[in-house]
Structure 1
Amino acid sequence: MTPRFVGIPEVTEVPSVAVVIDVMRAFTVAAWAFARGAERIVLASSESEALELKERHSGWLALKDGAPAAGFDAVNSPGLITSAALAGRTVVQKTTAGTVGALAVANAPLVLCASFVVASATARFLRAEGAGPVTFVVTGEDGRADEDLACAEYIGQRVALGDVEAAPYLHRARASRAAADLADGLRRGYQGVHPDDVELCLELDRFSFAMVARREEAMTVLRPVEVSGD
């Protein structure tokens, strides 16, 4: 596998295999939503679309970035979703970077969404699929977010080499601008930020499933796929 690392603005053609990375916080939140029992996550292109989908489908929940807002049931914080009751529910997710990146490559034959909490499972899935050239979509900061790039590089190395020392990659994520922004938001008392968010985003391989996005009924739908160990 020869990986390619791009930001969202650089997605100009449909890749054969895409892995969309958002560590802080969209795809850490998505993984926790599945761990809390969510059946599927529908990726929305806008907050208005998220609310429209929720309104049209009884029992669906809507999740967004930032502070709580009318109509939304949750915010994009792993610390705030770890206790959510989501068993059997469909969650509609709209975030600033992660969902945008996934929708940018939604027509690719294989799309996975990932963060550190599902990193090794994602690598195992790619190896099992015998995936060809992989395009990693680094969603934060137009492809410059070091927490996302570190995670993408770690997964790429896990695919290529198997066992890889994770500490340097996690250190980069901990020292990233996104981690600092979350800490600053916590100090300032911003809503939608939890004290455990950064640590939860850095919890390597917390889950043993990969997250695969496919087109279903004109929607881009994310589902967990259990992956056996090495």
Structure 2
Amino acid sequence: MRAIQIIQGNDHSLEASNINVVIDVIRAFTVAHYAFINGAQGIMLAGTVDEALRIKKRFPQYVLAGEIKGLPIPGFEIDNSPARLQALDLDGKMLIQKTTNGVRATLNSLNAEHVFVTGFSNARTTAAYIKRSLLKEENMTINLIASHPSGDDDLACAEYMAEILQSSDRVSTDQAITRIQQSAAAEKFYDDERPEFLREDISFCTKELPSDFVMKVNDHHDIPLIERVEVDNNAI
């Protein structure tokens, strides 16, 4: 029997597994998904601002992206808004990403044969790819990591992916979207007194996109790197 476990939070220590999928819907891995769509070549993961700046010093042509408590980081070229990202030309560029939940959770989830990251926008593609291409044995272990420690947005996405992996339909696309929209993590984006958080971001975070790639973490170098891995979209 395949063991699918949902874990919530970003500060964890996991036993070795076959597959880890780290989920950050609002907004880190939605930003990552759109960055690849907009031509990004790869995304390096930095656990702290200082580490991100050290990588930038080493590779000055790379682009700093991220947030602290949802807000832009001084000196970073890109914040954590998928809406604002649309205006940027990222063709062929490498990003350095530092975020509160998603990146931290990923760096704590590298103890697996395969590590993927996703937001809701690429969740179905990711789950379908794992189910079709990687689930070859019955005794495989899969961890779905909802990186927000308490938010229902990532948990809703994790439960949605679990249903796809198990060929069940107990959580519909619309149900998952509604939970994300109504989650505590989304509330500030609807608050007119907090214009730094764009309502439009939630639209990007809850739009399921047909994709021809998944986002896989390559941990074979000194800095973990999210790479775009092409998949057969017609088989999903």
Could you tell me the TM-score, scaled by structure 2's length? 0.89
Counterpart position of 1:137: 145
- Is 1:168 matched up with 2:175? yes
Q: CA deviation at 1:22?
A: 0.4
Q: Which runs of 5+ in 1 are unaligned?
A: none
CA distance in 1, matches of 2:72, 2:14: 34
2:61 alignment partner AA: G
Out of 195, 202, 223, the position equivalent to 1:198 is: 202
> Hey, which bits of structure 1, 4+ residues long, moved more than 4 A?
none
Is residue 159 of structure 1 aligned with residue 172 of structure 2?
Answer: no
User: How many residues are matched?
Assistant: 225
Match among 100, 104, 109 for residue 104 of structure 2:
100
Query: 1: distance between equivalents of 2:98 and 2:189?
Result: 18
Q: Which residue of 2 aligns with 1:187?
A: 193
Deviations 1:148-179 (A, max 9, x none): 01111111111221766311111111110011
Match of 1:19 among 18, 21, 42: 21
Q: Deviations over 1:35-81 (max 9, x none)?
A: 11000000101011111111111310101214444421110110111
Q: Compared with structure 1, are the counterparts of its residues 90 and 162 closer, same or farther at alpha carbon in structure 2 (3 Å cutoff)?
A: farther
* Aligned equivalents of 2:180, 2:210: Cα separation in 1: 16
Q: Single out whichever of 11-20 and 41-50 deviates more from structure 2.
A: 11-20
The whole-number CA distance in structure 2 between the counterparts of 1:146 and 1:13 is 24
**Letter of the 2:27 counterpart:** R
Give the letter aligned to residue 44 of structure 2.
V
Aligned partners of 1:101 and 1:9: how far apart in 2?
A: 6
Report 1:17-96 matches (<5 A).
Answer: 17-65=19-67, 66-96=70-100
User: % of aligned pairs identical?
Assistant: 31
Gaps of 5+ in 2: none
CA distance in 2 between counterparts of 1:24 and 1:138 reads 11
- 3-state secondary structure, aligned to 2:186: helix
Provide the C-alpha distance between the structure 2 equivalents of 1:70 and 1:169, rounded to a whole number of angstroms.
34
TM-score of the pair, normalised by structure 1: 0.91
> What SS class does the counterpart of residue 135 from structure 1 fall into?
strand
* Backbone CA RMSD of aligned residues: 1.8
| Residues in 2 aligned to 1:12 and 1:36: alpha-carbon distance in whole angstroms | 33
Query: Is the CA contact 1:22–1:28 (under 8 Å) kept in the aligned structure 2?
Result: yes
Take 1:139 and 1:162, find their aligned partners in 2: how far apart are those partners?
23
The alpha-carbon deviation at position 119 of structure 1 amounts to: 1.1
Q: Distance in 1 between matches of 2:90 and 2:167?
A: 36
> CA separation of 1:198/1:152 partners in 2, compared to 1, >3 Å: closer, same or farther?
same
